[in-house]
Amino acid sequence: MNDAAELRELYQQLLERLERNEREFRRLGRAVWKVQEDERRRIARDLHDGVGQNLTVLKHRLHELDAALPTQPAGLRDTVAAALALCGDTLEDTRELSRLLRPPILDDLGLEAALRWLVRSQSQASGARVDLQIDALPELDGELQTLLFRVTQEALTNAAKHAAASHVQVRLQRQGAALSLEIEDDGRGCDPALALGSGGTGLGGMRERLRLYGGRLHMRGAPGAGLRVSAQVPLDYT
Amino acid sequence: MPSVPVRVLIADDHTMVRESLVQLLRGGGIDVVAQAADGLDTLRQAEATRPDVVVTDLSMPRLSGLEVIRRLYETLPDTRVLVLTMHQEDEYILQAVRAGATGYMVKDSPAAELLAAVHSVHAGKGYFGPQAARALAEQLRHPERDLGDPYGRLTAREREVFHLIAEGLTTKEIARQLSISVKTAENHRARVLDKLGARNTVELVRYALRKRLLD
């Protein structure tokens, strides 16, 4: 074999090794993220179905106590009423914590229902109008559903907290062998390069996550001109 | 003339909640005829005891509460279903109603409300707590907002075909079992896949597993 042929062969081997390493790196990255989401799911369930249900029983017991108490002295009834209110507030906090970690609706009813809930609750919290358009989607595995949910969640949080947008449009559709997600807002905008350079958090972190699934994140916008975040992710990412 | 007590089955996988509910309902003069801790057992017990009302949670092992409601609605049409859950989100409410529930309330509602709900559902009037009523009104106002459960959009026949596909039957076998032509079975199959956004049987089975729709 001459030198050039040997060099080509070596170069080819090097490329193949790089590709293998890249695949392995992505597989490991996805595994780490999956462990993290599984843990969040478990804690969210424990909070919602464990602590939450116990608080519910406690609330029933307090109601019973309240009903059995004589009308006098009033002080005792006030104490039970205060305990009932505290129990109710703690139950609501527990539900909220569970949703913040990982909303049970995502696992119970799937991505479409979870996105509709997310859009509605974000709209109520921020006062912005958020429109959601979802075309008929193919069956998606749990990891892809989580990925798309988290990207949407991050973009909506960004639109509400940093961009103070009054209108956000979310579109999710299939484009051939990939899914396309677009979130466009009319907020104060930003420099996409700066926003994406923010490292492991926010939209920069979402871009890294998408890469692990062979996906891409693009941002288009400028200070004062709103922001358009678009993500494409292949259906067959392995 | 003494009135006959309402016969109720309670389905909840959380023992403490179930016991608390039993105590509460019995205290209110309601006859708790059976209890179940998972979806499949709920169906078995309902079949055996034919209760007037099933009070059920949505999150249950082995078969989800939503699927339990659908099957009860088809097999025991005289049995009313009241959902008693921790979930307040509109999506759960609408899917439960679509599945056949005639009542929906959250678990931490006061005892008197639960008793009133059981009696109301039994009398065929339905019962929806404030949050559920608001969600239903909102859906009536905006019917175009589909809250996304493709399975819920299947017709009764399509659901039958769905389960037969998931059990591994071929189109020919499905046709034979349902006494329909192969062509009709093929049409049903195509519509089921289309509505679920599944490309093939494998995707359909994955969907069924994820939604805990299989026995």
Average pLDDT over residues B157-168: 86
What tokens appear for B34 in the block?
């059976």
Count other C-beta atoms under 10 Å from residue A178's C-beta.
17
- 3-state SS, residue A200: coil
Of B91, B111, B207, which is closest to A109 when you measure between CB atoms?
A: B91
Give the global pTM.
0.81
Count other C-beta atoms under 10 Å from residue B2's C-beta.
4
Strand partners, A169: A131, A184
> According to the model, what pLDDT value does residue B80 have?
97
Place of tokens 């909506």: A156
Q: Which of B191, B183, B184, B185 is nearest to B155 (CA)?
A: B191
Decide if B147 and A113 are in contact by the 8 Å CB cutoff. yes
Decide if B90 and A117 are in contact by the 8 Å CB cutoff. yes
Instruction: Quote the strand ranges of A58-142, DSSP E.
Output: 129-134
Distance CA B21, CA B56 (A): 11
Decide if A53 and B87 are in contact by the 8 Å CB cutoff. no
CB A181 within 8 A of CB A171: yes
Angle at A16 between CA A14 and CA A19, to 5 degrees: 110
Decide if A141 and B92 are in contact by the 8 Å CB cutoff. no
The alpha-helical segments, DSSP class H, found in chain B are 15-27, 39-49, 65-75, 90-99, 111-122, 130-141, 156-166, 171-178, 182-196, 201-210
> According to the model, what pLDDT value does residue B66 have?
93
pLDDT tens-digit map of B49-87:
999 999 999 989 989 999 999 999 999 999 999 999 999
Chain B residue with minimum CA distance to A63: B110
Distance CA A56, CA A95 (A): 11
Decide if A53 and B86 are in contact by the 8 Å CB cutoff. yes
In chain A, residues with a C-beta closer than 8 Å to the C-beta of B199 are 138-139
pLDDT tens-digit map of B105-159:
999 888 889 999 999 999 999 999 888 898 888 888 876 555 556 676 677 788 8
Distance CA A28, CA A33 (A): 9
CB B54 within 8 A of CB B104: no
Q: Which of residues 64-93 of A touch B (CB under 8 A)?
A: 64, 67, 88, 91
Q: Which of residues 126-165 of A touch B (CB under 8 A)?
A: 134, 136-139, 141-142
**A194: part of which helix (H) or strand (E)?**
helix A192-196
Confidence class of residue B1 from pLDDT cuts 50, 70 and 90?
very low
Side-chain half-sphere of B74: how many Cα atoms within 13 Å? 13
Distance CA A170, CA A131 (A): 6
- 3-state SS, residue B62: coil
Interface test with A, best of B17, B22, B60, B86 (most A CBs within 10 A): B86
Mean pLDDT, rounded, of chain B: 88
CB B86 within 8 A of CB B106: yes
> According to the model, what pLDDT value does residue A137 have?
81
Distance CA B152, CA B107 (A): 24
Say whether pLDDT at B190 is over 60.
yes
CB B4 within 8 A of CB B33: no
Q: How far is A207 from chain B (nearest CA, A)?
A: 27
Average pLDDT over residues B19-45: 95
Distance CA B112, CA A166 (A): 43
Q: Is A94 exposed, middle or buried (0-12, 13-18, 19+ CB in 10 A)?
A: buried
> According to the model, what pLDDT value does residue B144 have?
58
Q: How far is A235 from chain B (nearest CA, A)?
A: 12
Strand partners, A229: A183, A219
What tokens appear for A72 in the block?
């006098």
Distance CA B109, CA B83 (A): 12
CB A119 within 8 A of CB A112: no
pLDDT tens-place values along chain A, 238 residues long: 678 899 999 999 999 999 999 999 999 999 999 999 999 999 999 999 899 999 999 998 898 898 888 887 788 889 999 999 999 999 999 999 999 999 999 999 889 999 999 999 999 898 899 999 888 788 888 999 999 999 999 999 989 888 888 999 999 998 989 999 999 999 888 878 777 776 556 888 899 999 999 999 999 988 888 899 999 999 988 7
Q: Is A213 exposed, middle or buried (0-12, 13-18, 19+ CB in 10 A)?
A: buried
Query: Is the backbone peptide bond immediately before A70 cis, with ω within 30 degrees of 0?
Result: no
> According to the model, what pLDDT value does residue B118 have?
97
